[in-house]
Every structure is written in C-alpha cells, then in structure tokens.
Amino acid sequence: MKKLLSILILILFLGFHAKSQDDYVEIKLTLFDTNLEKKYFTQHQNDPFLLLQALQPEEDPDFRNWEKLLKVLDKRAQRKNVDVQLLSDIFYKTQKKLLKTYAPHSFFSGTLKNGVFDCVTGSGAYALLLERYGIPYILIETDEHIYLKGQFEGIPFIIESTFALNGLILGANDIKQFEEKFISSVKSTNPDQPLVLGRNVNTIKQNRTFELIGLKELAGLQYYNNAIKKFDEQDYQGSFVQLIKAEVLYPSSRIVDLKEKMEILLGIVDNVEIQ
C-alpha cells in the first residue's frame, strides 16, 4: 500500500501534462483470465451468487460447507413461528460453518470453498442469505469496510461479518453505539490515499465514504481490492485490467480515480486494446 501511494503521489506532484498521441505506449490486454470468468462476468450480472464468483472462479466447485449451511438454515426458516431467532441463526451458523479464516484480499469462491473471507466476501455471503429468507437489508460501504444494516420483525440490526462472537448487533441503541465507536463520520485528512476494503474492524476510523450499494457493486469492489493486490505485486497491467472490470460493475469515484491514475502511470490512455 505504501508503494502504491508513493508512486501515485509522485504522479500528482510531477504534474504530468497531456502527451501527444505518439507518446503513448501500445499495449494489448487480456480482460479475462478464463472463459468461466468471462461467462460469470458478462452473462450473470443479474445473478449475484455467480457474479461474486467471477474473480477466480472454480471450474469444478466444491461448496459443501455452503450447501450444508443452506440446508440447516432452510430447515429453521420453515418453522411456523419465524422470529428474530432466525436472524441469530443466520449469523452464528454462518460464522460456525462457513467463515473460518479472516484474510484481506479474499475472493468469494474461496470463501465458499475454504472459508477464507474478508468484510467484502463475508458481507456478500450474509447478503445472499438475507435475500434468500426475505429479510430486508442494505450494504454500507465506508472507506475500508463493508457491513450490513436492516430491520427484521420490527427490530433494527447490523451484521458485522468480521466479529465472530458479537457481530450481530440488535436494537437502535446498540447500533448507534457500534457506529459511533467503529464507523466515524469525520472526514479523512488524506483524501488522495487509495484504500483497500477488507479491514477487520477493531479501531475507530475516519471515513469520507458512506455509500449504499448492492451485490453487483460489491462484486466490483472485489475487483478493486484485487487491483490493489496486483499493484503491490508490481503487476501494473494486471492491476489496470482489474480496475477496468471493477468500473464496469461499480463506477464509484474511488475506482474511477484510481483507474485514471493508473492510465497516467502506464501511459496508455488512448491506446489500450482489450482482447
């Protein structure tokens, strides 16, 4: 992250001027790593379960933990008197059966297969479950984090996927305390710093971003995170390609701004050929 920030700040301070057409580098980029990624990305943007798997999809998926979780929760949801206990079952059963190991830059198919997750993929799993059982919710994007907020049976709730033991917050007062403690609304003093989403929330943060997003946008944020990971690995063209895909799914200011900075860095503004 420091390396990325240093290079981008260098670009800004040098004040790059417009180049002539002949100055740009001719580069051919392959947009999709596999045919399966292309299929999920281009044909399933209205199917969030598959769209979220577009980043590093499994050719022969083994999602038995996810399937076992659905089987347990489906049975509980079929009870005659469904109450807030269903929400508790969704949260704690998912923590027990699916979300095993926290790691930044996770991808959804890995979460389904191996239980490795961050706040993006963990929130994606919870969002899919809430939709399956008809529980209204919203996804909230902050500078470095995603969490869910909703209301069920008249009780407001937050689901914080990175808190294994106390990530289900119920009631207006507890929600207010959580957001005041962990999701500060103070403006950031460093607006040019690109931030990766996926932080394990344990400290007060200053946020300049508060957006309500959907699962399509969440899939875009997976690609954004992966772009930063590739940059840190010095795969600059790969990073740029991931930002192109992220922008298709979610043209947010953070994604568009970073993509434009990468275009300047690579010098390929008008001469990129996507295959």
The tally of domains found in the chain comes to 2
Domain boundary pick from 162, 194, 213:
213
Checking if the pLDDT of 13 tops 50, the result is: no
Q: Are 206 and 223 found together in one domain?
A: no
Query: Is the residue at 54 inside a domain?
Result: no
Q: Are 23 and 137 found together in one domain?
A: no
Tokens of residue 199, six digits: 């932080």
Q: Are 203 and 68 found together in one domain?
A: yes
Q: What is the pLDDT of residues 170-214, one digit of tens each?
A: 999 999 998 888 776 433 333 344 444 444 444 434 556 678 999
Query: Is the residue at 55 inside a domain?
Result: no
Q: What is the pLDDT of residues 144-171, one digit of tens each?
A: 889 999 999 899 999 999 999 999 999 9
What integer pLDDT is reported at residue 83 of this predicted model? 78
Q: Are 120 and 177 found together in one domain?
A: yes
What integer pLDDT is reported at residue 186 of this predicted model? 36
Query: Is the residue at 87 inside a domain?
Result: yes
Q: Are 75 and 188 found together in one domain?
A: yes
Q: Are 125 and 78 found together in one domain?
A: yes
What integer pLDDT is reported at residue 118 of this predicted model? 96
What integer pLDDT is reported at residue 24 of this predicted model? 46
Domain boundary pick from 164, 181, 213:
213
Q: Are 8 and 72 found together in one domain?
A: no
Q: What is the pLDDT of residues 105-141, one digit of tens each?
A: 999 999 999 999 999 999 999 999 999 999 999 999 9
The domain containing residue 100 runs over which residues? 62-213
Q: Are 275 and 157 found together in one domain?
A: no
pLDDT-derived band at 46, boundaries 50, 70, 90: very high
Query: Is the residue at 52 inside a domain?
Result: no
